[in-house]
A and B are shown apart, each in its own frame.
Chain A
C-alpha cells in the first residue's frame, strides 16, 4: 500500500513569490493534516481536514496561507507571497478519521521550502 505522497520534495523560491505543495493521503483516510516543521523543532499543526471540511485551521496564517481539499482526497497548501520566515519543511499526514481511538497519523516525506 502506498504511503502519503507529497510533491515537490524540495522547492527554492525568491521571497514574495507564490508556492504550492501537494499531498495525496493514504487511500481511505478521511483526515488530512498539514504541519510545518522549522529547523530543530517538532512539527506544528497548520490545518486539519475531515473529508472536505477544514475543522481546525486556528494555526494557519490566513493572510498568506491557504489550503484546499477538493473531493476530500488530495490537498494543496499555498503560500502567497512567501516570506523568508516561511523556510521550513511542510509535512502532510493522514489518518483513518477523527473519532477513532488514538487514531494513528501517517506522515509523508515532506517538502523542504527555502525562501531566498
Chain B
C-alpha cells in the first residue's frame, strides 16, 4: 500500500527565502505524486503533479518539485517565498493512473516571516 510522509508539520521562512517542503513516499508500483495547497477556510488546490514524464515538475505560483526515485522523495521548492504562500501544503500519492484514489500526507503548514 502506498503512503506519504511529510517531514515537519510546520515550516517558517523569511519573505524572499527559499521554500523547501519535504515529502517521502512509499509505493509498490511506480507512483503518481501530487502537491496540493490549502488556504485558510478553502478547499485544496492542485499545485503540481508527477506523472512519470519529466522528473522536475513545474507548478503554479512558482513552485516546483523533483521526483527522486533513489531517495523515494518528491520535495516541493520555491526560490523566493512570498507572503501569499502562507498556507497548508499536502503531498499525496496514487498508484492508479486515473488518480481516483489518492493518499494524502498529514500536511505542512508554511508560515512566512516579513
Contact = CB atoms under 8 A, between A and B. Distances in A.
- A and B: interacting chains: yes
Interface of A: 3-4, 31, 40-45, 48, 56, 91, 93, 95, 98-110
Contact of A42 (B49, B90, B98): B90
A91 B45 CA distance: 12
Interface string B62-106: 000000000000000000000000000010101001111110111
Chain B interface, DSSP helix/strand/loop, else mixed: loop
Query: Could you say which of B36, B97, B100 has the most chain A C-beta atoms within 10 Å of its C-beta?
Result: B100
A107 B88 CA distance: 15
Interface residues of B, number: 24
Given A42-B92, A42-B107, A91 B43 contact: yes
A106 B102 CA distance: 13
Nearest to B52: A102
B51 interface: yes
A91 to B, nearest CB: 6
B43 A103 contact: no
